[in-house]
Amino acid sequence: MIAENNPALQSWIEVSSQSDFPIQNLPFGIFQPKAADYGRVGVRIGDHVIDLSMLVELGYFDALNLEDPTVFHAGALNDFIALGRPVWRAVRASVSKLLQHDQPLLRDNEEDKKQVIYPISEVVMHLPVIVNDYTDFYSSIEHATNVGTMFRDPNNALLPNWRHLPVGYHGRASSIIVSGTPFHRPKGQIKPDENPPIFSATQRLDFELEMAFVVGKDTQLGESVSTQTAEEHIFGMVLFNDWSARDIQKWEYVPLGPFLGKSFASTISPWIVTLDALEPFRTSPPVQEPAVLDYLKTTGNTNFDIQLTVAIQPEGQAETIVCESNFKYMYWSIHQQLAHQTVNGCPVTIGDLYASGTISGKEASSYGSMLELAWKGTKPLTLKDGTTRKFIQDHDTIIMRGWAEKEGVRIGFGECTGKVLPTK
């Protein structure tokens, strides 16, 4: 067991049992104190943020002999990530130690605590990384089957390549936004049945419940990452909402795939949970049949048991949970996705995001998009306020949550939220 994951660990910072951020998590993010004018690297614990740039200033990381201690004064995690996995681990271990209940060094230094610890209510979260590239996969067999059933052939829902490779497309990194950032309903070409295309705001705005991994190590042109070494290239994971305009998508996607129906916004959660923190929640992947080619073969527990929910909150109303899914349903693992992405020698860069694709389970209540939940608009959902939804309305907020739980330890991602404003 990784020492920092020990369920017995407790912190001198109070953490509620329902918090996503106990001392066993310690995810990394970029925060800005409301009173300050720039962001810096922080670690979340309970309802507080630990300022790593101040820990450096005050000498708490001296023993780490960091090659570049200025990485924590940055507005993105990329330079810290570039120091490598042994450094991420040493920093997480060091922060864990400082926060353990029987460690007086910071606990009993009131002056330092004032400079290092911020209540979450007094900070603003930024995008955690500069994202150079973003790929969206399509790796849930239930989701791909549902979409194939709706739009093609219920008896032959999966396309012939689907069980042989993790299908994906290149998304736009430029429109990735951090949780809490609102956006306007996008406009574009849509084609009403039997009529010529028109220019319109999307009438079928959807969410897609996804997770994404963040690349932790660059590769060079011509280099491929194997499934066996993939985890050395992965810094951690976030929740990911791949907002989708179904009507724009439907008209534009043939023959080259998703384009403007996707690239108007994609929302991620602000805290990157490390693979080390997720280690206790490994679970076995599904059996892949037919067997995959050698470069996609994996051994061991390559999936993670992470519970996921999606809620819709109309303006001024209570939220309604409309989906309960789990990351363990994924047919293709993150190892296979990275191996496939790089098999042709395409380089990946620190901070790149690789999203899973919509995560649906077998039950109708676990479908990860409105398209599936309301089955193409034929089964509208009823919310707590009595209103119904086939797709997302203006002023709705979509809230995604994810957490893993075992032996009384809850490792969570917090929230990934976004509010839809009327079209501009």
Half-sphere exposure of 208 (CA within 13 A, CB side): 25
Q: Is residue 206 a contact residue for Mn ion (CB under 5 A)?
A: no
Mark whether 143 is an active-site residue. Answer: yes
Chain centre distance of CA 62: 32
Of the candidates 48, 101, 126, 143, the residue annotated as catalytic is: 143
Q: Is residue 136 a contact residue for Mn ion (CB under 5 A)?
A: yes
- Sort strands 134-137 and 353-355 into parallel, antiparallel or unpaired: parallel
The sign one gets for the Cα dihedral 303, 271, 361, 258 is negative
Q: Is residue 208 a contact residue for Mn ion (CB under 5 A)?
A: yes
Report the chain's C-alpha Rg in angstroms: 22
Which CB atom, from 242 or from 372, has the smaller least distance to Mn ion? 242
Which CB atom, from 60 or from 134, has the smaller least distance to Mn ion? 134
User: One symbol per residue from 72 to 111: x for binding Mn ion (CB under 5 A), - otherwise; what is it?
Assistant: ----------------------------------------
Task: Give the binding range for Mn ion (CB under 5 A) out of 10-18, 102-110, 133-141, 182-190.
Answer: 133-141
In whole angstroms, what is the distance from residue 286 CA to residue 300 CA? 11
Half-sphere exposure of 171 (CA within 13 A, CB side): 31
Q: Which residues does 37 contact at the CB level (< 8 Å), separation at least 6?
A: none
Residue 137 C-beta: closest distance to Mn ion, Å: 8
Q: Is 140 helix (H, G, I), strand (E, B) or coil?
A: coil
User: One symbol per residue from 378 to 397: x for binding Mn ion (CB under 5 A), - otherwise; what is it?
Assistant: --------------------
Among 51, 112, 142, 242, binds Mn ion (CB under 5 A): 242
Beta bridge partners of 200: 188
Q: Is residue 372 a contact residue for Mn ion (CB under 5 A)?
A: no
* The two structure tokens encoding residue 369: 């998009």
Q: Is residue 247 a contact residue for Mn ion (CB under 5 A)?
A: no
Which CB atom, from 144 or from 322, has the smaller least distance to Mn ion? 144
Task: Give the binding range for Mn ion (CB under 5 A) out of 180-188, 220-228, 238-246, 335-343.
Answer: 238-246
In whole angstroms, what is the distance from residue 276 CA to residue 24 CA? 10
Annotated catalytic residues are 143
Binding site for Mn ion (CB under 5 A): 136, 208, 242
